[in-house]
Amino acid sequence: MQVREITEAEVKAFKKRGWTYLPHLFDREIAERLHARALELERDKKHHTFYGGKVNSFFRSYPGEDQKSPLVKFMFSPAMGRNSARLLGIPQVRLFSTGGYLLKMPEEAKEQGETAYHQDFLGNPMDRSTFLTVWVALHDIPVAGGTMRFYDRSHRLGVLGQAFADHMDIRVRYRLKNKDLSPPLAMQAGDATVHHSLTVHGAPPNRTANQRWGLAYIYMDADARYDGTPNVFTENIKLERDALFDHPAFPLIPTE
């Protein structure tokens, strides 16, 4: 089996805290293949500003796969269709994109440091917050590798603003409490975290001597509409403002 069914306890944890850790969500083999592909992309340095701007100080980003690639077949699986719909409490999801590979270099390299705390809702062009980000570990990552941390229940705080634009420290501005910050995670290849679009999250620097590779992508409500914001995933697609994401680039994910 390539993708496991998430448990009712995991769904409950997600709804309560706004995120959850899903050990062994994907077979290790899926992660290993993605990792090999990521290392291939890394050799072509021109791709490393996929998201651009301040995000480059958090990680280097490389474009994800074509939807037809066997490497990302798991994203279209009914198991993930069911998992994502259950987490969001809606009948069905669409894939927003196959996402991107994210590389955080060791802190020593002085290329990337901490990933500033933020909500994914800002910068994505959906008209509603019912979407989630899946972050897949592409290899075993120890606690010191800079895996993500999340503020429990922060998805209930509303939209807190574009933290990257004005260097606002969202934790200070909104007085987020240390006790609500999730513990650092050690992840194995194929483990994933999922977080709600409004969940405040960030990551410490990668304090190991090795690269840290993840793959992040988004499932959104099948009924979400395009809010007109320019975005790397919609720039070559003619979508009217307020239209459904009814385009092959944003496929509905079956649940059966």
Instruction: Closer to Fe ion by CB, 7 or 57: give it.
Output: 57
CB of 4 to Fe ion, least distance (A): 24
Task: Give the three-class secondary structure for 65.
Answer: coil
216 forms beta bridges with: 100, 135
65/120 with CB nearer Fe ion: 120
Q: Name the residue nearer to Fe ion (CB basis): 10 or 120.
A: 120
By the 10 Å C-beta count (0-12 exposed, 13-18 middle, 19+ buried), 235 is classed as exposed
| Calpha distance 115→105 (Å, rounded) | 12
How many residues of this chain bind Fe ion (CB under 5 A)? 1
Radius of gyration for the chain, computed over Cα atoms and rounded to the nearest angstrom: 17
Nearest Cα neighbor of 81 from 232, 211, 255 is 255
C-beta of 7 vs 229, nearer to Fe ion: 229
Cα 197–chain centre separation = 9
Q: Which residues contact 46 (CB under 8 A, 6 or more apart)?
A: none
Q: Which two tokens mark 122?
A: 């800002």
Q: Which is nearer to Fe ion, 26 or 131 (CB)?
A: 131
Residue 54 or 241 having the CB closest to Fe ion: 54
CB of 249 to Fe ion, least distance (A): 21
Measured CA to CA in angstroms, residue 9 lies from 17, 155, 156, 179 at distances of 12, 18, 19, 22
- Assess contact for 206 and 145: CB atoms under 8 A: yes
The residue among 77 and 162 lying less far from Fe ion, judged by its C-beta, is 162
180, two tokens: 């609500």
Question: Which residue minimizes CB distance to Fe ion?
Answer: 120
Angstrom distances, CA of residue 120 to CA of 135, 180, 197: 12, 18, 5
The answer to whether 199 contacts Fe ion (rule: CB under 5 A) is: no
Least distance (Å) between residue 176 CB and Fe ion: 15
The 120-139 site mask, x for binding Fe ion (CB under 5 A), equals: x-------------------
Least Å from the CB of residue 236 to Fe ion: 23
Site for Fe ion in 104-123 (CB under 5 A): 120
Nearest approach, Cβ of 195 to Fe ion (angstroms)? Answer: 8
- The CB-of-251 to Fe ion minimum distance in angstroms stands at 22
Closest distance between Fe ion and the C-beta of residue 58, in Å?
9
Question: 220 has which bridge partners?
Answer: 94, 131
Q: How far apart are CA 103 and CA 146, in angstroms?
A: 11
Residues that bind Fe ion (CB under 5 A): 120
